[in-house]
C-alpha cells in the first residue's frame, strides 16, 4: 500500500473510532441487541471484534484481569513489617504475573516508541514510559499531550496536559482521558492505538471508574483503586474529566 493509501486507511479508522466514541453506551447496547444479547442493569458490555469473532468486554472480564495481577486483601507492606508466616505481597503468584507482564512490556517497548514518534509529529507529546526501561513497574505504557491552550499564557511548571493515554500491559485494553473542549484529538489517538495494537479496546468509564475495594496498588490506598488505575496506572488522574 502506498503512502496515499495508508493515509486514506488511517483516516477511515479514525472516523470509525470517532463514531463509536460518539455513540456511547446507547450505541453499544443497540449493537448488543442486534446480536441478540441482553444488557442487564449494572452490567455494561462493550462489543469488540477479533478477526471474524465478536467478543465482549464486561465488568466480570475486567475484574478477572485485575485479580489475576493483584492479590486480594494483601497490602504492599515490606517483609520486615509482616508477622511471621503472614502473606507478603511480593511473594504472591499475582505479583509474579505482574512482574512478568511488565518485563514483556519492556521487551516490546520499541512498538510503543514507534507509535509515540508518529504522534509526536502531530502533537506536543510527553512520553511517560521511559522509566520502564530502568525498572519501573507500571501496568501500562503512558503518555500525555499538551493542547495549545494548556500552555497559556506561557508554558510553565504548572502547565497541565488536558489529554493522557495509556495502553495496558495486562490485557488488550487502552484508555484516552481528555478534558476541555471536544476536538478530534481523542479519536485520532485512539485510532493510532488501535492501528498499532490490533484487537485492543477502550475501557468505558462505566466500567473503568468502578472501585476495586480489596486490592492494593501503588499510589493509592487499599480500597481506593479503580479498574482504570489497576489496568492503566494511577496516572489516569493526570487529566481531569
Question: 4 lies in a domain?
Answer: no
Half-sphere exposure of 212 toward its Cβ, with a 13 Å CA cutoff?
27
List per-residue pLDDT tens for the chain, 241 residues long. Answer: 544 444 444 445 445 544 444 433 333 333 323 333 222 223 333 444 444 344 557 899 999 999 999 999 988 887 787 788 777 888 899 999 999 999 999 999 999 999 999 999 999 999 999 989 888 889 999 999 999 888 887 666 556 788 999 999 999 999 999 887 889 999 999 999 999 999 999 999 999 999 999 999 988 888 899 999 999 987 776 554 3
Global confidence as pTM:
0.74
Whether residue 203 lies inside any domain: the answer is yes
List the Cα angle 129/8/176 in 5-degree steps: 30
Q: What does the alpha-carbon distance between residue 241 and residue 180 come to, in Å, rounded to a whole number?
A: 8
Q: Is residue 208 part of a domain?
A: yes
β-pairing verdict for 124-127 and 140-146:
antiparallel
Query: Is 65 part of a structural domain of the chain?
Result: yes
Q: Label residue 112 exposed, middle or buried (CB < 10 Å: 0-12, 13-18, 19+).
A: buried
Number of domains the chain contains:
1
Provide the domain limits for residue 112. Answer: 59-238
Q: By the 8 A CB rule, do 201 and 218 touch?
A: no
Residue 31 domain-assigned?
no
Would residue 79 count as lying in a domain? yes
Measured CA to CA, the distance from residue 239 to residue 241 in angstroms comes to 6
Amino acid at each position: 500500500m502506498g503512502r496515499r493509501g495508508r493515509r486514506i486507511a488511517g483516516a477511515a479508522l479514525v472516523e470509525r473510532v470517532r463514531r463509536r466514541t460518539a455513540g456511547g453506551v446507547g450505541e453499544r447496547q443497540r449493537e448488543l441487541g442486534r446480536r441478540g444479547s441482553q444488557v442487564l442493569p449494572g452490567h455494561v458490555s462493550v462489543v469488540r471484534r477479533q478477526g471474524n469473532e465478536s467478543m465482549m468486554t464486561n465488568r466480570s472480564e475486567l475484574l478477572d484481569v485485575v485479580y489475576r495481577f493483584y492479590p486480594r486483601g494483601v497490602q504492599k507492606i515490606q517483609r520486615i513489617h509482616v508477622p511471621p508466616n503472614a502473606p507478603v505481597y511480593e511473594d504472591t503468584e499475582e505479583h509474579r504475573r505482574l512482574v512478568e507482564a511488565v518485563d514483556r512490556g519492556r521487551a516490546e517497548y520499541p512498538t510503543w516508541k514507534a507509535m509515540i514518534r508518529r504522534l509526536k509529529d502531530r502533537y506536543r507529546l510527553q512520553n511517560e514510559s521511559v522509566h520502564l526501561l530502568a525498572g519501573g513497574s507500571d501496568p501500562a505504557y503512558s503518555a500525555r499531550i499538551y493542547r495549545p491552550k494548556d500552555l497559556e499564557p506561557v508554558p510553565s511548571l504548572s502547565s497541565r496536559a488536558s489529554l493522557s493515554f495509556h495502553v495496558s500491559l495486562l490485557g488488550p485494553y487502552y484508555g484516552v482521558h481528555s478534558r476541555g473542549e471536544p476536538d478530534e484529538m481523542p479519536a485520532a489517538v485512539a485510532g493510532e492505538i488501535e492501528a498499532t495494537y490490533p484487537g485492543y479496546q477502550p475501557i468505558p468509564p462505566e466500567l473503568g471508574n468502578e472501585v476495586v475495594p480489596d486490592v492494593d496498588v501503588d499510589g493509592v490506598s487499599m480500597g481506593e483503586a479503580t479498574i482504570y488505575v489497576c489496568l492503566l496506572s494511577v496516572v489516569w488522574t493526570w487529566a481531569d474529566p
